[in-house]
Amino acid sequence: MAVRIIAEKCKGCQKCLKNCPFDAITMQGKIADIGPACTNCGNCIENCPFDAIEKIDDGNKGVDITLYHDVWVFAEQRDNKLMGVAIELLGEGRRLADEIGCRLCAVLCGDKVDELVAELYEYGADVVYYASAPELKTYNTDAYTKVIYEAIVKYKPEIVLLGATHIGRDLGPCLAVHCGTGLTADCTKLEIDPEDKKLMQTRPAFGGNLMATILCPRHRPQMSTVRPGVMTKPERVSGRRGELVNLDVKFADGDIRMQVLEVVKGLTEQVSLTDAKIIVSGGNGLGKPEGFELIKKLADKLGGVVGASRAAVDNGWIDHSHQVGQTGTTVKPELYIACGISGAIQHLAGMQTSKTIVAINKDENAPIFEVADYGIVGDLYKVIPTLLEVLGE
C-alpha cells in the first residue's frame, strides 16, 4: 500500500504537514505532496479535514505467505563455539514454533563444526541446516549470505531470528535485502498474533521513549535480530536428537568479494557482561575516572564485573564494552549494583530484568530507585568503602 494526496480535494490547509511524524509532506504550491520519507503510517489520513489523503494499492502484493513454514535461528558460532545468543534464540524460537505449530530449525555455517549439530538438537532444534566449507570457517558477509539466502529460497522459513551481534547485524540486513523482506533490529519481545499467527516484533523506538510493535504482513521470511542477554537460555536436554539437512555449498569465482586475512581480537580490555552473574556499574555520579577503581574493588570483592552508564563512557572514563543499556549491552545478572546512576530509560532498558537490583545514589528521587529492590541513599564514596569493610569481615 502507499499513501497519496487527492489533488482535487486538497485545500492547502497544511494540517497534514504538522501531523506527519516523518516530515514527509511538503507543499507544492497550494497542494500537499508526499515525499519518499513516507512510511505509510496513515497519520495524515486521519487528520486531513477534507478527506484529501487516501491509501492506495501500489501493486506490491508481497509473496504467497502460505508457502512459508518453520522458525529458523541463525546458529552463530565463533572458533567452533556456539554464541550464547544463538542458544537464547533457540529457547525463544521453540516457544514461537510451538505457538505456530511448526518446527524449530537452526542454520549452522562453519568449517567442520559437526560437534555443534548435536548441541543444537539438545537446545531444542528439530532440524539443523548445516553448511560446512573452508570458506565458512570465519564469518564472511558474501559467503554466509549466499549460503543462507539459497537455503531460504529452497526451504522457505516463515521466521528467521539472528543475534544482534556484530555478525548478526551485518548478515541480517544482507539476507533481508536479498529476500526482499523487512527486518526488525534489536527486538526486546517477540510474540505470535493468536489470530493470524504473524510475528509481532517489539523494539524500543524514538530513543527508547516508546515501544513499537512491527509486523511484516506480506513478505517472508519475517526477520528479527535480538540482542544478547534479552531472552532466556533454554534447558539443555542431553541426548535429544533431530534431523540433519546438509546444505549445498558451491562458490563460483566472484561470489566472495572479500577475504579475511587475519582476526585481531580487540586491544581494549573486553568484558563479558552478558554472562556475568554480578555486575557493579558506575555512572556520572562517580565524578572522575578514578571512581572506577572503587567500583572495580567492589566488583572484585563480589566476584563480579564492572559495568557503566553511557554518561561514564561518553566522559571517557571507561571503554564502551562496559556500557549497559539500549546502546550498550543488555544484561540479566543475579545482582546488579548501580552506583551514581540516575536510571534513565535507556539505561534501564539494558538492566531492569536483573534478578536483584541495588542502587546507590545521593538523590532519593533518582528514577533508579523505582526499579531497585534495595536502595541506599548516600554518597557512593562513603557507602562503597563501608560495604567493602563489611564484606571484608
Is 312 a binding residue for ligand FAD by CB under 6 A? The answer is: yes
Is 315 a binding residue for ligand FAD by CB under 6 A? The answer is: no
Is 328 a binding residue for ligand FAD by CB under 6 A? The answer is: yes
**Residue 187: what are its φ and ψ, rounded to 5°?**
-70, 145
Give the shortest CB-54-to-ligand SF4 separation in angstroms. Answer: 10
- Of residues 342-371, those binding ligand FAD (CB under 6 A): 342, 344, 346-347, 350, 360-363, 366
Local structure of 116: helix, strand or coil: helix
The span from the CA of 392 to the CA of 323, in Å, is: 28
58-79: string of b/e by CB count within 10 Å (b at 16+)? eeeeeeebeebbbbbbbbbbee
The span from the CA of 313 to the CA of 321, in Å, is: 9
- Of residues 63-102, those binding ligand FAD (CB under 6 A): none
Q: Which residue's C-alpha cell is 541495588?
A: 358
Is 340 a binding residue for ligand FAD by CB under 6 A? The answer is: yes
Let me know if 149 is exposed, middle or buried by CB neighbors in 10 A (0-12, 13-18, 19+).
middle
- Tell me whether residue 38 or residue 215 sits nearer to ligand SF4 (CB atom): 38
Question: Residues interacting with ligand SF4, by CB under 6 A?
Answer: 3, 5, 10-16, 19-20, 22, 24-25, 32, 34, 38-44, 48, 50, 52-53
What does 42 interact with, of ligand SF4, ligand FAD, none (CB < 5 to 8 A by kind)? ligand SF4
Residues in contact with ligand FAD, total (CB under 6 A)?
Answer: 29
What does 138 interact with, of ligand FAD, ligand SF4, none (CB < 5 to 8 A by kind)? none
Give the shortest CB-285-to-ligand FAD separation in angstroms. Answer: 2
Give the shortest CB-277-to-ligand SF4 separation in angstroms. Answer: 45
Q: 147: which 3 cell numbers?
A: 549460503
- Tell me whether residue 138 or residue 327 sits nearer to ligand FAD (CB atom): 327
- Tell me whether residue 8 or residue 389 sits nearer to ligand FAD (CB atom): 389
What does 315 interact with, of ligand FAD, ligand SF4, none (CB < 5 to 8 A by kind)? none
- Tell me whether residue 252 or residue 390 sits nearer to ligand FAD (CB atom): 390
Q: 391: which 3 cell numbers?
A: 564484606
- Of residues 135-154, those binding ligand FAD (CB under 6 A): none
The only residue of 35, 62, 180, 207 in contact with ligand FAD, by rule CB under 6 A: 207
Q: 208: which 3 cell numbers?
A: 527508547
DSSP per-residue letters across 242-262: -EEEEPP----TTS-------
**Residue 162: what are its φ and ψ, rounded to 5°?**
-130, 150
Let me know if 315 is exposed, middle or buried by CB neighbors in 10 A (0-12, 13-18, 19+).
middle
Residue 19 makes CB contacts below 8 A (sequence gap 6+) with 43, 44, 47
- Tell me whether residue 24 or residue 152 sits nearer to ligand SF4 (CB atom): 24
Give contact residues for ligand FAD (rule: CB under 6 A).
207, 283-285, 309-312, 323-328, 340-342, 344, 346-347, 350, 360-363, 366, 379-381
